[in-house]
RNA sequence: CGGGGUGUAGCUCAGUCUGGUAGAGCACUGCGUUCGGGACGCAGGGGCCGUAGGUUCAAAUCCUAUCACCCCGACCA
């Protein structure tokens, strides 16, 4: 491909509303353009990368025995009502009506549709197991789309669904997919970690996520190098603390704390550490208007754990200030003393003695508060997020914390959908059996962003070889003037193509520096510069995007040189 | 959903406070010079100043409404 025929509009300046590098570089390199919030057009260069990612995924899915299908983006409400997710999914499910006023939605995922297919197409245990997959567009009406293609509303996903006669087969299918995913992410050149995960809106029993390690990641993962444990902090169960509660040594006193409505402010105002404070969170309840959750001041509530508690409404919803006042308290000054509502206390807040907490009165806190003596200890639960240094659930040591971008997730669904939708096959005895299901997703568009987060420098993107939009860029110097350069460029291009490389020739009438800068920005892994200087010795210049070194190589061996330096 | 912010050329942004001919840089077009790390000169094209009302002799600028986008928060006790 000649650049004179491929309009790329690179930007020198960083677009104002892009905050993470991958988003900035994708915009600057002309991979994507924003159409509306969370909606992006993929321009030629970006689309090529997407194709490469899709191809690798397709090859590995096929190798693992999965069958490619294609399901509609628009789905009828009936199917979602059958699985009960029409009501359960929430506002992320974009609902639309057709001209006959019939309800439809834009598919955020395809369990319902694929289960419908399976129950109609699969009749006998002899046909199982089957794994259907597709690569296609999903729509989720995200509460806050951000980071460009990383959390978009419309995105490309590879989703696969496996159907099994029994759990044993499901486990085997899950294992096969897990291996396929490892191959995929290895081939994509990503540094990732497999972590235990919450099953969320999809449901099912066991689930793992493939997390690409990146500081800009939205997920927090906890891992322990000693015992091999790795999990999304959402699901890390913490063992109970083994510290005893000291005896009370202070008496409970009311202190004036004007305008001090946060733990941080409270700690500095009173000169006590946050871990000596008790934070009170009020959330909606199912049996009562509110449920109180008590945590140590330096700990964070874990929403997944809180939602599991009996009496706590799902999704977890914090009370608004007006609702707090209706309960006789004041936002910013809530505390357990005199608050007569259902409550849970985090196990790590139980050993607190002589602690500080809100007085349920504007601008006042209590200090010297003690469980049992001043306020009854509520039911104890595991409520908080793990932090670095916590004991690992694996039993072998302390947890470390890292950030990750979730690029894939695999689930053992069980019979959640197949039971609700009556997806059965006849077993060897001729009796109907509900199929066991697994489901397996990869965020294809997100993989592109994640790859950039892990592979860039101050000049631009550095594509891993397997997903680069082009393998090599040929930059002729002074092609307009030098017939020698023009000829060598055309010959080199043909030679590279014959050797199986996707080559891009920058034949634009620009100065060399301009072309080098663009080549670096769009991140083509291998660069060949052709100039009179080199041609006089029968050589051209080779440079890898990953290395600062340039080397002069014989013109007729350039294909071999690149082949030798290519990875993956 | 709550709070904050921003809407002026394709992009980055001035101009708005204090109403009076719509600007700069980048990008784009033409010509010339230049030609190994985002060149320079000259000449150009391009804006319903988000939208709708209002105030005024006069509105990008003041007022009202509305829409869009961005950020923060929703973990604050």
Q: How far is the CA of A377 from the C1' of B54 (A)?
A: 62
Residue A37: nearest nucleotide (C-alpha to C1'):
B69
A211 Cβ contact list (under 8 Å, min separation 6): A192, A193, A194, A195, A217, A219, A221, A232, A404, A405, A406, A407
Q: How far is the CA of A279 from the C1' of B76 (A)?
A: 9
End-to-end, the C-alpha distance of chain A in Å comes to 22
Q: Predicted ipTM? A: 0.91
**Nearest of A4, A35, A57 to residue A447 by alpha carbon:** A57
> What confidence score (pLDDT) does residue A252 get?
92
Mean pLDDT along residues A366-390: 91
Share above pLDDT 70 across residues of chain A, in percent, rounded to a whole number: 99
Instruction: Give the residue extent of every domain in chain A.
Output: 17-236+401-452, 253-381, 470-565
Our separate counts of H helices and E strands in chain A read 15, 30
pLDDT per residue as tens digits for the range A17-32: 888 999 999 999 999 9
Give the 3-state secondary structure of residue A520: helix
CA separation for the pair A285, A274 (Å, rounded): 27
Q: How far is the CA of A146 from the C1' of B44 (A)?
A: 39
pLDDT per residue as tens digits for the range A107-124: 999 999 999 999 999 999
pLDDT per residue as tens digits for the range A435-458: 999 999 999 999 999 999 999 999
Of A556 and A216, the structure prediction assigns the larger pLDDT to A556
CATH number of A470-565: 3.40.50.800
Q: How far is the CA of A484 from the C1' of B31 (A)?
A: 27
Q: How far is the CA of A302 from the C1' of B77 (A)?
A: 17
CATH class of A253-381: alpha beta
Residue A262 has pLDDT above 90, yes or no: no
Query: HEC states along A209-232?
Result: EEEEECCCCCEEEEECCCCCCEEE
The architecture CATH gives domain A17-236+401-452? 2-Layer Sandwich (3.30)
Residue A516: nearest nucleotide (C-alpha to C1'):
B37
Residue A261: nearest nucleotide (C-alpha to C1'):
B77
Residue A278: nearest nucleotide (C-alpha to C1'):
B77
> What confidence score (pLDDT) does residue A340 get?
84
The bridge status of strand A526-530 relative to strand A472-476 is: parallel
pLDDT per residue as tens digits for the range A197-212: 887 767 777 899 999 9
Mean pLDDT along residues A319-343: 83
pLDDT per residue as tens digits for the range A155-188: 999 999 999 999 999 999 999 999 999 999 999 9
Mean pLDDT along residues A83-101: 86
Task: For nucleotide B36, give the residue with the nearest CA to its C1'.
Answer: A512
Q: How far is the CA of A282 from the C1' of B22 (A)?
A: 53
The rounded radius of gyration (Å) of the Cα atoms in chain A is: 29
Residue A147: nearest nucleotide (C-alpha to C1'):
B70
pLDDT per residue as tens digits for the range A46-57: 999 999 999 999
Residue A28: nearest nucleotide (C-alpha to C1'):
B11
> What confidence score (pLDDT) does residue A377 get?
92
Neighbours of A464 (CB within 10 A): 19
Q: How far is the CA of A102 from the C1' of B72 (A)?
A: 39
A80 Cβ contact list (under 8 Å, min separation 6): A86, A89, A93, A105, A112
- Range name among A111-125, A194-208, A424-438, A487-501 with the lowest pLDDT average: A194-208
**Environment class of residue A183 by beta-carbon count within 10 Å: exposed (0-12), middle (13-18) or buried (19+)?**
middle
Compute the mean pLDDT over every residue in chain A, rounded to the nearest whole number: 91
Mean pLDDT along residues A412-418: 93
Q: How far is the CA of A34 from the C1' of B17 (A)?
A: 34
Residue A274: nearest nucleotide (C-alpha to C1'):
B77
Kindly report the length of chain A: 568
**Torsion, Cα of A550, A552, A554, A559 (10° steps):** 0
> What confidence score (pLDDT) does residue A557 get?
95
- Range name among A228-237, A308-317, A363-372, A515-524 with the lowest pLDDT average: A308-317
> What confidence score (pLDDT) does residue A55 get?
97
> What confidence score (pLDDT) does residue A172 get?
96
A388 Cβ contact list (under 8 Å, min separation 6): A398, A399, A400, A401
> What confidence score (pLDDT) does residue A201 get?
67
Mean pLDDT along residues A62-87: 94
- Range name among A65-79, A157-171, A383-397 with the lowest pLDDT average: A383-397
pLDDT per residue as tens digits for the range A392-401: 988 888 999 9
Q: How far is the CA of A486 from the C1' of B27 (A)?
A: 28
CA separation for the pair A350, A294 (Å, rounded): 9
Of A549 and A303, the structure prediction assigns the larger pLDDT to A549
Label residue A527 by pLDDT band (50, 70, 90). Answer: very high
> What confidence score (pLDDT) does residue A333 get?
86
Strand B bases with any atom < 7 A from protein Cβ: 1, 11-13, 25-27, 34-39, 68-77
Label residue A563 by pLDDT band (50, 70, 90). Answer: very high
Residue A242 has pLDDT above 70, yes or no: yes
Task: For nucleotide B25, give the residue with the nearest CA to its C1'.
Answer: A13
> What confidence score (pLDDT) does residue A568 get?
65
Report DSSP state, residue A190.
-
The bridge status of strand A207-213 relative to strand A456-457 is: unpaired
């Amino acid at each position: 491909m000649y650049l004179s025929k491929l309009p790329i509009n690179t930007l020198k300046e960083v677009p104002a509303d892009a905050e993470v590098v991958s988003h900035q570089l994708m915009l600057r390199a002309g991979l994507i353009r924003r159409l509306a919030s969370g909606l992006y057009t993929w321009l030629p260069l970006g689309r090529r990368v997407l194709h490469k990612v899709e191809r690798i995924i397709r090859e590995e899915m096929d190798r693992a025995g999965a069958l490619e299908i294609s399901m509609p983006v628009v789905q009828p409400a009936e199917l979602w009502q059958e699985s009960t997710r029409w009501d359960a999914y929430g506002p992320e499910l974009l609902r639309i009506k057709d001209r006959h006023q019939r309800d439809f939605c834009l598919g955020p995922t395809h369990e319902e549709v694929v289960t419908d297919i399976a129950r109609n197409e699969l009749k006998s245990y002899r046909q199982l197991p089957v794994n259907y997959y597709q690569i296609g567009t999903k729509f989720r009406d995200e509460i806050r789309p951000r980071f460009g293609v990383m959390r978009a509303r419309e995105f490309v996903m590879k989703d696969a669904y496996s159907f099994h006669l029994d759990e044993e087969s499901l486990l085997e299918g899950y294992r096969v997919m897990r291996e396929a995913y490892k191959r995929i992410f290895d081939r994509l050149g990503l540094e990732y970690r497999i972590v235990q995960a919450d099953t969320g809106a999809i449901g099912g029993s066991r689930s793992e996520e493939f997390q690409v390690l990146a500081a800009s990641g939205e997920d927090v993962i906890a891992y322990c190098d000693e015992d091999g444990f790795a999990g999304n902090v959402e699901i890390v169960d913490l063992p109970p603390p083994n510290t005893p509660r000291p005896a009370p040594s202070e008496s409970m006193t009311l202190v004036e704390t004007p305008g001090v409505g946060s733990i941080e402010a409270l700690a500095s105002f009173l000169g006590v550490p946050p871990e000596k404070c008790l934070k009170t969170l009020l959330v909606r309840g199912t049996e009562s208007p509110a449920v109180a959750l008590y945590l140590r001041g330096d700990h964070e509530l874990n929403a997944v754990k809180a939602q599991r508690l009996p009496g706590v409404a799902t999704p977890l919803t914090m009370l608004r200030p007006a609702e707090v006042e209706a309960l006789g308290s004041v936002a910013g000054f809530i505390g357990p003393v005199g608050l007569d509502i259902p409550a849970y206390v985090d196990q790590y807040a139980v050993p607190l003695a002589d602690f500080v907490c809100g007085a349920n009165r504007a601008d006042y806190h209590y200090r010297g508060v003690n469980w049992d003596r001043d306020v009854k200890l509520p039911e104890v639960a595991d409520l908080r997020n793990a932090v670095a240094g916590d004991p690992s659930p694996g039993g072998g040591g302390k947890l470390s914390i890292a950030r990750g971008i979730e690029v894939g997730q695999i689930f053992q669904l069980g019979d959640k959908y197949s039971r609700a939708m009556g997806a059965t096959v006849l077993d060897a005895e001729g009796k109907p059996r509900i199929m066991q299901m697994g489901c397996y997703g990869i965020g294809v568009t997100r993989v592109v962003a994640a790859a950039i987060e892990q592979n860039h420098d101050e000049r631009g993107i550095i594509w891993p070889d397997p997903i680069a939009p082009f393998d090599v860029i040929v930059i002729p110097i002074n092609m307009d003037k030098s017939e020698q350069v023009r000829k060598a460029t055309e010959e080199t291009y043909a030679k590279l193509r014959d050797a199986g490389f996707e080559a891009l020739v920058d034949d634009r009438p620009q100065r060399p520096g301009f072309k080098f800068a663009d080549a670096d920005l769009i991140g083509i892994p291998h660069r060949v510069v052709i100039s009179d200087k080199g041609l006089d010795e029968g050589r051209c210049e080779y440079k890898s995007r990953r290395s600062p070194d340039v080397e002069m190589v014989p013109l007729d061996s350039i294909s071999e040189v690149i082949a030798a330096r290519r990875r993956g």
